[in-house]
Chains A and B, each alone.
Chain A
Amino acid sequence: EDKVVQSPLSLVVHEGDTVTLNCSYEVTNFRSLLWYKQEKKAPTFLFMLTSSGIEKKSGRLSSILDKKELFSILNITATQTGDSAIYLCAVLKTSYDKVIFGPGTSLSVIP
């Protein structure tokens, strides 16, 4: 059965800290791994990772995929209170019809 696991499930940090969120997967016919940020309602897209070892960056956020070890990390440097959200990891299969989501990591950044 396809599975996406995230850790930790929740995390509290102080502003300015650097955090690393983990996502591991056991999915047949893997195509890409996706990261989303969900603040209150609708998740918003952050990254899509298809190739191993190529870091994607957007401001203070970066992510990398390891297809051999079947995991990805999402790094957030110099965290701000606006980074408080649920971060969702998901896997897109080669059949392109299903995206399998992990349970999410709830991040709280306190001043």
Chain B
Amino acid sequence: DGGITQSPKYLFRKEGQNVTLSCEQNLNHDAMYWYRQDPGQGLRLIYYSQIVNDFQKGDIAEGYSVSREKKESFPLTVTSAQKNPTAFYLCASSMTPRSATYEQYFGPGTRLTVT
């Protein structure tokens, strides 16, 4: 089946540890995105990538890092520099953003809890 997978669904880490969230898509989409969702704040963009080996910071990139070595994969690392990492993280992908029927497809999300 085509789609976006994120793993794991739930992740628990101790403060001070880096953690990497996985995002894989088999939709042959060019663009991929990482969002953070906190209660009452909607989705906030962390990083996005329109092509392989290229990515840009979103609105809240501090304390996060990404890589885009393959078209299918866009992992997100939450570093110890991120002050409030506990949140729900959503990965999305889309066709070339200039597509007339632009639509972002979302993965099921990873809920990260840092104590």
Contacts and interface: CB of A to CB of B under 8 A. Distances in A.
Interface of A: 4, 6, 9, 32, 34, 41-45, 48, 88, 90, 92, 96-104
Given A42-B108, A88-B42, A97 B103 contact: no
B84 interface: no
B56 A101 contact: no
Interface SS, A side: strand
Nearest to A4: B42
A98 B50 CA distance: 11
Nearest to B110: A41
Contact of A48 (B43, B48, B102, B108): B102
How many B residues are at the interface, by size bracket? 20 to 34
Contact of B108 (A34, A41, A100, A104): A41
Interface string B25-46: 0000000010100001111110
Contacts of A42: 4, 90, 106-109
The 9 closest A-B pairs by CB, nearest first: A96-B97, A42-B106, A101-B43, A101-B42, A103-B42, A41-B108, A41-B109, A45-B103, A43-B106
A6 B43 CA distance: 13
A98 B107 contact: no
A101 B38 CA distance: 12
Given A42-B90, A43-B106, A98 B45 contact: yes
Contacts of A41: 108-109
Contact of B104 (A45, A100, A104): A45
A48 B101 contact: yes
A97 B42 contact: no
A44 B106 CA distance: 7
B73 to A, nearest CB: 18
B75 interface: no
